[in-house]
Amino acid sequence: MTDEFPARPTWADIDLDALEHNLRQAQQFCLPQQRVLAVVKADAYGHGALPVTRRLLAAGVEDFAVATLEEALALRRAGIEAALMVLGGCYPGQEAAFIQYRLLPVLLDPDATLRLAAEAQRQKTILPVHLKIDSGMGRVGFLPEQLREFLPTLQQLAGLEIVGLMSHLACADDLDSKLITDLQHEQLGAARQMLAAAEIYPAELHISNSAGLVAWQSADCTLIRPGIMLYGGLPGADFAERLDLRPVMHLRSCIAQLRQLPAGSGISYGHHFTTERETRVAVLPIGYADGYNRLFSNCGRAILHGQQVPVLGRVCMDWIMLDVTDLPQVAVGDCATLLGQADGLSILGDDWAAQLETIAYEVFCRIGSRVPRRYLAEQA
């Protein structure tokens, strides 16, 4: 059993107090009739779905969303009894599991809808479901005309109860997207009217992600779906002044070796860095296999002893090298922070995203499973 022995000194601290702080930020934008449907898919964006869900439950959240049946089952089997929505819908052969484990499937197309209804009727039960409209994302869900054509069939499906109507905003992170975003809200409202004309009245209505919650009014909605903001990531660059978010993930690694190299020494694969002076190099046991992106070669930073120090040479699968020449007090075993906060300094997911030309969502999800998570201030 490997857990009988000390682990490699690389880990991610997950600050659950910061998670709850970010939840309160989201709730400040909710209207009185709205409640949070917390998005904990993709292992809570790499933060750990079970500990995150438990903490949010303790903070008063009652509704959660995952992407797949597998993600939902992992939470159910760990004892989570809260409402669990499966955003990715139901694939053939999964129908019975949704009923057995009391999950909320999202209806994305007629075929899945018919299969779920047939299974529910076979089991002589009524399955609550949410119906998704493609209001302009161009991805999944019923197109308006498709819903109109399917509506007579939908009215006859005795095994399903449509308790929710939903869509997803495509451009809400762009504050100049009013035309598109308003049109999506209108499409959702039109779908609601279409259902009402067929005497189908979903109690829940939702369309807003983190950006939609903060920047756009969805006054008719009963649920809002914050995701990235719960984990301390901005929905977009223009949201920094609107939100007081705290980083939840802090990626750390301890110095495994110190090397004193003369001027003219090549470092790492390809010798893409050559020392110009006598250089003290700290070697850390973390690399791109852990989610520390190879694009940080020769341009990454780490927080160490209250300063930011540069990454030298190519990021390896399992190692990175830091220039600590100007930090004579550094010793083997000292902890460096690569993502998050330490010593009053920050390297945020949004900082990584800007440098890598991606988004904070991907940054967090890419921190690999071989990096153990340590949960701070866990209450559940």
Which of 41, 292, 361, 375 is labelled catalytic? 41
Instruction: Give the Cα separation of 179 and 239 in Å (integer).
Output: 19
- Which of 295, 290, 286, 326 lies closest to 308, judged by CA? 326
- The answer to whether 231 and 339 are in contact (CB under 8 A) is no
Instruction: Give the Cα separation of 198 and 181 in Å (integer).
Output: 26
- Which of 236, 257, 254 lies closest to 245, judged by CA? 236
Instruction: Give the Cα separation of 377 and 219 in Å (integer).
Output: 35
Confirm whether 41 is a catalytic residue: yes
What tokens appear for 273 in the block? 């860095």
For residue 293, which amino acid is it? N
Strands 249-254 and 335-342 turn out to be: antiparallel
- The answer to whether 155 and 122 are in contact (CB under 8 A) is no
Query: Who contacts 2 (Cβ-Cβ below 8 Å, separation ≥6)?
Result: none
What tokens appear for 5 in the block? 């022995």
Confirm whether 269 is a catalytic residue: yes
Say how many C-beta atoms besides its own lie within 10 A of residue 78's C-beta: 11
What tokens appear for 185 in the block? 């809200």
Which of 91, 178, 201, 269 is labelled catalytic? 269
Active site residues: 41, 269
